[in-house]
């Protein structure tokens, strides 16, 4: 290999490192995305602690803290969304009666496709 090959290799590695550092999902952590009745309702960073209600046909009290998200309370029948527990990284929380879906949109993938 010639000196120019090493220089090109270093430049490619430096460009890849810059792209990884510029990725907003990696820089700021994951984003919690909430849809209600098929439309985007809100997007919040998972790194900030917050509590709020998502109200449609029913009310879901959502808590984001410590990089995870959960439905703490719901007035929907069955309350399966509450029993799903905390979501971290990959997976989905669904409240079918309220037509609400919570997912992560961002760079983290822990290899889990679905959390039930």
The label of the residue with tokens 């490619």 reads 12
Predicted pLDDT at 72: 96
**25-105: CATH superfamily:** N-utilization substance G protein NusG, insert domain (2.60.320.10)
Q: What are 64's two structure tokens?
A: 């984001």
Q: What is the rounded average pLDDT for all residues in the chain? A: 80
> Based on the number of CB atoms within 10 Å of its own CB, is 10 exposed (0-12), middle (13-18) or buried (19 or more)?
exposed
Position 91 confidence tier, pLDDT thresholds 50, 70, 90: confident
Q: What is the pLDDT of residues 19-69, one digit of tens each?
A: 555 444 443 458 999 999 999 999 999 989 999 999 999 999 999 998 899
What is the percentage of the chain residues whose pLDDT exceeds 90?
A: 51
pTM > 0.75: yes or no = no
The C-alpha atoms of residue 42 and residue 34 are separated, in whole angstroms, by 5
Closest-CA residue to 35 (of 86, 98, 78, 106): 98
Percent above pLDDT 70 for the chain: 72
């Amino acid at each position: 290999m010639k000196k120019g090959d090493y220089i090109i290799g270093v430049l490619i590695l430096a460009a890849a490192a810059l792209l990884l550092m510029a990725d907003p999902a990696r820089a700021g952590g994951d984003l919690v995305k909430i849809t209600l009745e098929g439309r985007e309702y809100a997007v919040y960073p998972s790194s900030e602690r917050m509590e709020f209600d998502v109200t449609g046909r029913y009310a879901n009290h959502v808590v984001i803290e410590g990089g995870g998200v959960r439905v703490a309370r719901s007035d929907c029948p069955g309350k399966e969304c509450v029993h799903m527990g905390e979501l971290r990284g990959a997976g989905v929380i669904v409240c079918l009666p309220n037509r609400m879906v919570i997912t992560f949109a961002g760079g983290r993938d822990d290899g889990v496709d679905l959390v039930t």
